Structure 1
Amino acid sequence: MTSPWLEGLNPEQKQAAKHNNGPLLILAGAGSGKTTVLVHRTGRLIQEGIASADEILVLTFTNKSARELKMRVEKKLGADAKKIWAGTFHGFGLYILKRFYKEAGLPKNFGIIDQGDAISIVKELLKTTKNANKDNFDPATILEIIGQLRQGKLPTLQDPEYVDICQALTPKYIERLRTLGVIDFDGLLLTPIELFNSYPDILDHYQQQFRHFMIDEFQDTNDSQMQLITLLVSKTHNITVVGDDDQSIYGWRGAEIEHILNFPQKFPHCKSVYLTRNYRSKEAILNLGNFVIQQNSKRHQKKLSAAGYTEPGTKPEIFVFDTDLDEIQGVLKQINHFRAQGYHFHDICLLYRSNSQGGLLEAHLRKEQIPYNITGGQGFFDRKEIKDVLAYLTCAFRPNEIAFRRILNTPSRSIGTKSITAMEEIATQENISFFQASKQFDLLALQNKTQHAVELLHENLQYVKKQMLHGSKTAGNTLLQWLEQIQYKQYVFSSFKDQHTAMKRWDLIQTFTSVLDAFIKTGGRSEQTILDFYQAMALGDVEKETGKNNSEVQLMTFHKAKGLEYPIVLLIGVEEDLLPHRSLGSNIAEERRLFYVGITRAKEHLLLTRAKKRTKRGRLMSVAPSRFLTEIPNDLVTIYPNGFRPISEDKRKAMIQKLYQRLESSSK
């Protein structure tokens, strides 16, 4: 009799679900139903008595994935499924340490600190060092290197000064955690490993408790996670790992693709099952994805086939534009194109490699009043620097109290609480706005230094307004240079010890001013156009707060898109320095895998866009197409070198017919 847990599975999925004991490698391609296989295999092991529910340990990378697996097993199996231990690696580490806290040298009620708390500890420790350059180190970078050193790895940042100070701080950092009676995220993995190595009886306890181990997204495991797994399974070797080496995209945060590539060598009697039937994408999209990923040599050889659609679908389309602004306009046209075909906003996903690209998209979506949602990361208009610049723009053209309060001491003008209170009192007494009250110097009786600072601020606001409307330079360039003149750029750079981070924040402002110039180009250089720009930029925030839009275009980076799918996907900025990204240019294989992940998010339509020129640091510069594009054979894609689809013959005839009809009706 066939197990109910094998019903509805394809032959390869059945093969994986029927496996009983010993190591199993499930190579699950994009959209191949890997979660279904894990659920059915888990349920079958329990129902057929091969393992009891409490003998099964499932490790995932998100609590959401763990909950979904347990719920799906429980739906068919009943309450017994609740005994399955399913959770994240860090959650399992915590589970161990709660029981064996004494052996780990922790207090019973030890705390767990997040990255922010850990960075604060690093800052404290930096103050105690005698290094003359200690103020130039970025605490977040130091914390990252300390984590690598604790794992016994060579630091990825080969800066001798950073390496030296991190080697000195690592033991102090560990001791500080012990003194505080807390553990950090790295410690949730490293401490259980130390426990298992120091106390074999503790390791034996968990090896007796758990007899079957299942690991999801195995391609994303780092060395600590692999060490923990290896220790746990060393007795039974009942380990099932599910993953796809072609979707290994987290090398920059410690994931080691070698773990999945070398799994058959590490476990010589391993059984390998390939899940290559894709239930997500149309054949034309998979043809492109297969070709792209086959250019990587270091991989498990496999090829996805379309199982979810009978027709191949339209070929992926490549749109080439002159500039990045033309590219954005082209993207907006494509959104409207698919909307006209009956798709909803939420069917459309815009993917980009770098968060810096998102700002330009956001601004133009707001301008066109197209609702959107950003998945992961901070929105462009949520950045402090953008809020500051919008406030300055507001105060120059249509001042209000909230905006003026924001800029009054940004950057610092040494305008104290006493002076601000005086402005508030004058505003109440004279029944005028806070902004107007700040100019009533005869009533305010401010100290000379404070009065000069406030007067200068008002003069600067009048000056930038005049120059933006009538100056020889564009309004955006005028605003950018003016922000430098009033020391705002210096303020941004002094806010970050890491100058690279500061430059990225200043780049956001340059993006903002570029969008402003593009807006003025279409609306004309006038006070009303700039006010319209401000209102368009502010409208998106209001609509998000009121929950006005239920259907929104999805915006996210390639990394955030992993595991998701949409009917229509646009990959934006497929150019050298963006994809592959200049910061990870040496790891071309991983960047190609990232490109592949983007391609395989699309279900029905895939569009790729690039510009010939892109604005960088305020200048329009020539850019080359991504090497990943130049590799693609022409027969796999349709290329539009001028950025638009030619009108079909049927559509052209229909347009001519309509024109004739209008002419006839107007002549009557």
Structure 2
Amino acid sequence: MTVPGTADDILVALDPDQRRVAEQPLGPMCVLAGAGSGKTRAITHRIAFGVWSGAYPAHRVLAVTFTARAAGEMRTRLRGLGVPGAQARTFHAAALRQLQYFWPQAVGGAPPEVLGHKAPAVAEAAGRLRLRTDRTELRDLAAEIEWAKVNMLTPETYPAAARRESRQPAGYEPTAVARLMQTYEEVKGERHVIDFEDVLLLMVGILAEHPQIAAAIRDQYRHFVVDEYQDVNTVQQQLLDLWVGGRKDICVVGDPAQTIYSFTGASPRHLLGFAKAHPDADVVRLVRNYRSSPQVVQLANTVLAAAPGANPVRLQAAGEPGPDPRVTRYDDDVAEAAGIAAQIGKFVASGQEAAGIAILFRTNAQSEAIENALASAGLPYLVRGGERFFSRTEVRQAILLLRGAARSDDVSMPLGRVVRDVLSGAGWTPEPPSASGATRERWESLQALVHLADDLSAADPELRLPALVAELDRRIAEQHAPTVQGVTLASLHAAKGLEWDIVFLAGCSDGLLPISVAEGPDRIEEERRLLYVGLTRARREIRLSWAGARGQGGRATRRMSRFLLPAAGLLGMAREEGGPGRSRAAGKPKKRKVCRGCGGELATAAERKIGRCEACPPTYDEATFEALREWRLATAKEQEVPAYVVFTDATLTAIAEGTPSDTAELGRIAGVGPAKLERYGPDVLRILGSSAETR
């Protein structure tokens, strides 16, 4: 990005609506920005135009958003526009900085530490109340405490609000949750710690009770920009009101159609009510979608148009045409995962970078089958929402090595070669490892650092290792990770704000989209918006799929998502077109598979998995099979899960009949993915080995 020479230079590359946002840097403004419409571009140019035109100095601006990644992107863009002094932070980061600075003045002493995770403190509170909770229940109760606090509810006011909302987390009555909330606060007090919601609540209290502190902050920041305003909750809005202090220089940006975090207390009412609260506000709509192909935009518009009520923003496609979207029906979840992996394999073989492909799903439980399928196909992948890039062990080790090498940088060698030599000490190799899973992920992390060095060197041939290390330090502070080569797996919630060339949206069936626990029209409509968010992540192509049954050989009880029915024509299908085992997009029958015993066609997924029909006698050793079944039952009891979660009957039969002798052979059996191979492989091979010795 070239630093502008004048204020007018900042407006040159903007479309008329974006320009309208940028050229009015003062006064209240509400920007209703559709997906892919360049909202970040518009608001960063608004800030830059305000600074370059002399409307305000950069250090008087505070831009707030909801993720460290989004804040880092805003800071990067503002630096490129010549305004590095403008602050861009998350709500929590901005509030925590203020809390730590003003705590001695407002309260006295050192500020308390912030809890990294609530679960241990919630568990201790539950134990004091003699509530028996498992990990899932603890997570739900911790989330409920967050919901209560962002809605500014106390243990006394929570029960009435929870009953109004019909909330019963982990099956507990509101009064029991209120007692847990009270005990949780006592645990934190004894430890002299606070949680992330306390950061906001405490700053609200300090600003309300200490006018001199409120005045100091208002003197520091006089112009505010709020991104993703549809996700603001009650406490964040109150904090924002106290920051602004009744002044008018505030610009809010959001999209009601992307409101998908109501479970955290987020509500679009602040965005939709902004014009009423600020009668002199200018309302601008950004509707030109520059991200997605017209085919993707049309599908997204069609899905959203079926929702009751008017949507303030209907997207207009501005991108290049792409392939028509399509939906494919599979027999079961395993077949769906394998079908998606096969399609991705073809894309990668044709030259598409794996990093430009994503598989999105409604629940994290859908990820395992997809991971197994990708690993079996030898395709690299990364799961979004896992460990942050710069927190990974191999990345920390690599940066330490680079930092040490920077002290004696060999300027006679190209930067790329120097970096490759250094990272070889951390395990990087010129060719990717043949192994999948964690080994491949570690290599992909190091490869991302290599690519970053190449990209920076191409932009600045004079760049050397100390400057690269400085750039990495900056990216660590901003959580601005480089691109890791691999197919991205992410939940629809985790995919918000991201984009890829090709998006596969798995599990498009009722029960998953909308999720079965979504009750009432409001929750159902939020599920529709979640699908809309998923669709608009695709730049060029969207492929949707669903499975008739969950398990292999199960009854096909699922139906395609009701949200896709209005778009049946766009998807090239009749509403009830196709049948089990037939692709609705291509209409081609599955490849015929026959029994290895009698040669007859295998009718079910379970038969196809073991390669034998039910009429033919099993070819495994009965004692071996019984030993595997006993081990599976004991393992399931120990882990407190159903037996099929360890291995399905079909997988167990395939293992007994195949009698693999090593991990490579075991890993080739359908249903034994990398995670299960690592977790259960040694036990299974031990049982098979013992059985072979006694036969």
Question: Is the TM-score greater than 0.5?
Answer: yes
Matching residue's letter, 1:89: F
Name 1:237's counterpart in structure 2.
Answer: 248
* Structure with more contact order per residue of length (Cα contacts < 8 Å, sep ≥ 6): 1
Task: Determine if the alignment matches structure 1 residue 66 to structure 2 residue 71.
Answer: yes
Name 2:121's counterpart in structure 1.
Answer: 121
Cα distance between partner residues in 2 of 1:134 and 1:60: 38
Q: Map of 1:477-626 to 2, 5 A cutoff?
A: 539-547=436-444, 551-586=485-520, 587-615=523-551, 619-626=554-561
Cα distance between partner residues in 2 of 1:227 and 1:46: 27
Shift of 1:161: 4.4
Distance 1:223 1:326, change over 3 A: same
Can you list the C-alpha shifts for 1:80-113, whole angstroms capped at 9, x where unaligned? x343222111111112212221465463242111
Cα distance between partner residues in 2 of 1:180 and 1:103: 22
Can you list the C-alpha shifts for 1:195-226, whole angstroms capped at 9, x where unaligned? 12222332222222211111111111111111
Q: Which consecutive unaligned segments of at least 5 residues does structure 1 have?
A: 380-535, 649-668
Cα distance between partner residues in 1 of 2:440 and 2:59: 47
Cα distance between partner residues in 2 of 1:627 and 1:569: 20
Name 2:325's counterpart in structure 1.
Answer: 316
Given the alignment, which residue of 168, 174, 198 partners 1:158? 168
Distance 1:191 1:21, change over 3 A: same
Name 2:32's counterpart in structure 1.
Answer: 27
Shift of 1:148: 3.7
Can you list the C-alpha shifts for 1:136-176, whole angstroms capped at 9, x where unaligned? 79444333333344412623633684422332343443344
Q: Is the 8 A contact 2:10 2:48 kept in 1?
A: yes
Distance 1:332 1:167, change over 3 A: closer
Name 2:346's counterpart in structure 1.
Answer: 337
Cα distance between partner residues in 1 of 2:555 and 2:252: 48
Shift of 1:301: 2.0
Q: Is the 8 A contact 1:17 1:37 kept in 2?
A: yes
Shift of 1:620: 4.1
Cα distance between partner residues in 1 of 2:122 and 2:62: 35
Matching residue's letter, 2:563: F
Q: Is the 8 A contact 2:104 2:111 kept in 1?
A: no
Shift of 1:318: 1.3
Distance 1:296 1:266, change over 3 A: farther
Q: Map of 1:264-663 to 2, 5 A cutoff?
A: 264-298=275-309, 300-309=311-320, 312-377=321-386, 539-547=436-444, 551-586=485-520, 587-615=523-551, 619-635=554-570, 637=572, 641=578, 642-643=582-583, 646=586
Q: Which segment drifts farther, 277-286 or 324-333?
A: 324-333
Distance 1:585 1:331, change over 3 A: farther
Matching residue's letter, 1:591: E
Matching residue's letter, 1:577: G
Task: Determine if the alignment matches structure 1 residue 95 to structure 2 residue 93.
Answer: no
Distance 1:629 1:23, change over 3 A: same
Distance 1:321 1:16, change over 3 A: same
Cα distance between partner residues in 2 of 1:562 and 1:220: 12
Shift of 1:317: 0.8
TM-score, normalised relative to structure 1:
0.67
Cα distance between partner residues in 2 of 1:201 and 1:94: 18
* DSSP 3-state at the match of 2:142: helix
Shift of 1:8: 0.3
* DSSP 3-state at the match of 1:101: helix
Matching residue's letter, 1:70: R
For the aligned residue pairs, the C-alpha RMSD in angstroms reads 2.9
Task: Determine if the alignment matches structure 1 residue 39 to structure 2 residue 44.
Answer: yes
Q: Is the 8 A contact 2:228 2:254 kept in 1?
A: yes
Cα distance between partner residues in 2 of 1:147 and 1:326: 38
Matching residue's letter, 2:95: G
Shift of 1:299: 5.5
Distance 1:611 1:172, change over 3 A: closer
Q: Is the 8 A contact 2:114 2:193 kept in 1?
A: yes
Shift of 1:277: 0.9
Query: How many residues of Structure 1 are paired with residues of Structure 2 in the alignment?
Result: 482
Name 2:619's counterpart in structure 1.
Answer: none
Matching residue's letter, 2:143: E
Shift of 1:134: 5.2
Q: Is the 8 A contact 2:260 2:529 kept in 1?
A: yes
Cα distance between partner residues in 2 of 1:189 and 1:83: 24
Q: Is the 8 A contact 2:345 2:377 kept in 1?
A: no
Q: Is the 8 A contact 1:216 1:242 kept in 2?
A: yes
Shift of 1:571: 0.9
Name 1:454's counterpart in structure 2.
Answer: none
* DSSP 3-state at the match of 1:568: strand
Q: Is the 8 A contact 1:315 1:638 kept in 2?
A: no
Distance 1:195 1:305, change over 3 A: same
Cα distance between partner residues in 2 of 1:334 and 1:289: 22
Cα distance between partner residues in 1 of 2:147 and 2:512: 27
Cα distance between partner residues in 2 of 1:623 and 1:321: 11
Task: Determine if the alignment matches structure 1 residue 141 to structure 2 residue 140.
Answer: yes
* DSSP 3-state at the match of 2:494: helix
Shift of 1:592: 0.6
Q: Which consecutive unaligned segments of at least 5 residues does structure 2 have?
A: 1-5, 389-432, 448-483, 589-695
Name 2:669's counterpart in structure 1.
Answer: none
Shift of 1:193: 0.7
* DSSP 3-state at the match of 1:229: helix
Distance 1:267 1:637, change over 3 A: farther
Distance 1:164 1:537, change over 3 A: farther
* DSSP 3-state at the match of 2:81: helix
Cα distance between partner residues in 2 of 1:598 and 1:637: 20
Cα distance between partner residues in 1 of 2:533 and 2:134: 37
Can you list the C-alpha shifts for 1:251-302, whole angstroms capped at 9, x where unaligned? 1222112222222222222211111111111111101111111222355422
* DSSP 3-state at the match of 1:313: coil
Q: Which segment drifts farther, 83-92 or 635-644?
A: 635-644
Cα distance between partner residues in 2 of 1:593 and 1:338: 28
* DSSP 3-state at the match of 2:437: helix
Q: Map of 1:219-230 to 2, 5 A cutoff?
A: 219-230=230-241
* DSSP 3-state at the match of 2:328: strand
Can you list the C-alpha shifts for 1:508-543, whole angstroms capped at 9, x where unaligned? xxxxxxxxxxxxxxxxxxxxxxxxxxxx99743332
Name 1:18's counterpart in structure 2.
Answer: 23
Identity across matched positions, percent: 32
Distance 1:72 1:170, change over 3 A: same
Q: Is the 8 A contact 2:362 2:491 kept in 1?
A: yes
Q: Is the 8 A contact 2:64 2:90 kept in 1?
A: yes
Q: Which segment drifts farther, 40-49 or 199-208?
A: 199-208
Q: Which segment drifts farther, 102-111 or 234-243?
A: 102-111
Cα distance between partner residues in 1 of 2:134 and 2:355: 44
TM-score, normalised relative to structure 2:
0.64
* DSSP 3-state at the match of 1:303: coil
